[in-house]
Structure 1
Amino acid sequence: MPAEPSLRNSLHDRGQRLTPQRQRVLALFERIGEGSHLGAEEVHQRLLRSEERVSLATVYRTLRLLSSIGLLQELELPEGGRRFELASDAHRDHHHLVCVRCGRTEEFENAEVLQAGEQAAVHHRFRLLECVLNVRALCPSCAAEE
């Protein structure tokens, strides 16, 4: 599994090594592609199913590290969970519709949300870095169970 030069350089700049476990976690996100959101336990289970041995503690540490260097984007849910997705400059300002019961997450883009964020930043003399909206709802399956 060849290492992405940007990953190796980012880790080296932070005094970190490119371990096989870190490569496996990033490779998983690259395989599933943009727009897929996984929690640490899901990452761990998928790696185990593909017979790649990585401890759950290592998965948690790796997800935090890859998020801190900008290779993964973290989505923090009010229900206490954290989900991660592959970071992408082309897909930076997108929003999430999150089921509060099962955690299903769908992405959407909305120019009006981005415009509102830009206007608020200008009005308060902030420099906008990103504009992300998380909408909490019930997916059709969970709504049907009520």
Structure 2
Amino acid sequence: MTKQRAAVLDALASSTEFRSAQGWHDTLRHDGSTVGLATVYRALQALAEAGEVDSVVTDTGETLYRRCASGEEHHHHLRCRVCGRAEDIDMPEFEEWAHRMATTYGYSRIDHTVELTGVCESCGAQGHG
């Protein structure tokens, strides 16, 4: 764990919302860090690959990151398209269906990504989305 990666993890611990690498870089800079944007990108990618942070891809192709509060190995999110707030959601019925489909077609070691997006109550009340 490098000093820069530790700084990124500390910043991620400050919020439960998904943010872009640029957004996390802005947070770090605001807190007085001198970590560069390229380093933040690399740290976030490495942390996501290691399963230490969650990442989602927006409709525009931008990757957003956050430190997951649940600590579960595999889970899904309901994310606000306006403010980035996210809820961890449990989808046992979907998991069962996915495994049934894999078995039916002779697949093993399946993986999947499910992300639901919408507009949270707070943003909806403000007239967004």
TM range (shorter): 0.7 to 0.9
Report the Cα offset of residue 38 of structure 1: 3.1
Which range moves more in the overlay, 127-136 or 83-92? 83-92
RMSD: 2.8
2:107 pairs with one of 126, 132, 143:
126
1:46 pairs with one of 22, 27, 30:
27
**Separation of aligned partners in 2, 1:21 and 1:36:** 21
The corresponding residue for 1:64 is 45
- Kindly report which structure 2 residues correspond to 1:1-146, keeping only aligned pairs within 5 A, or say none: 7=1, 18=2, 20-29=3-12, 31-32=13-14, 36-86=17-67, 90-144=71-125, 145=127
| Number of corresponding residues | 127
Which range moves more in the overlay, 79-88 or 100-109? 79-88
Can you give the 5+ residue segments of structure 2 that lack an aligned partner in the other structure?
A: none
Relative to its length, the structure with more helix (as a share) is 1
Report the Cα offset of residue 54 of structure 1: 1.1
Q: Normalized against structure 1, the TM-score is what?
A: 0.68
Report the Cα offset of residue 90 of structure 1: 4.9
**Separation of aligned partners in 2, 1:25 and 1:48:** 11
**Separation of aligned partners in 2, 1:66 and 1:106:** 20
The answer as to whether partners of 2:48 and 2:55 remain within 8 angstroms in 1 is: yes
SS in structure 2 opposite 1:122?
A: helix
**Separation of aligned partners in 2, 1:143 and 1:75:** 22
**Separation of aligned partners in 2, 1:71 and 1:36:** 15
**Separation of aligned partners in 1, 2:90 and 2:116:** 12
The answer as to whether partners of 2:18 and 2:84 remain within 8 angstroms in 1 is: no
C-alpha change, 1:50 and 1:75, in structure 2 (3 Å) is same
Report the Cα offset of residue 134 of structure 1: 0.7
Q: Normalized against structure 2, the TM-score is what?
A: 0.75
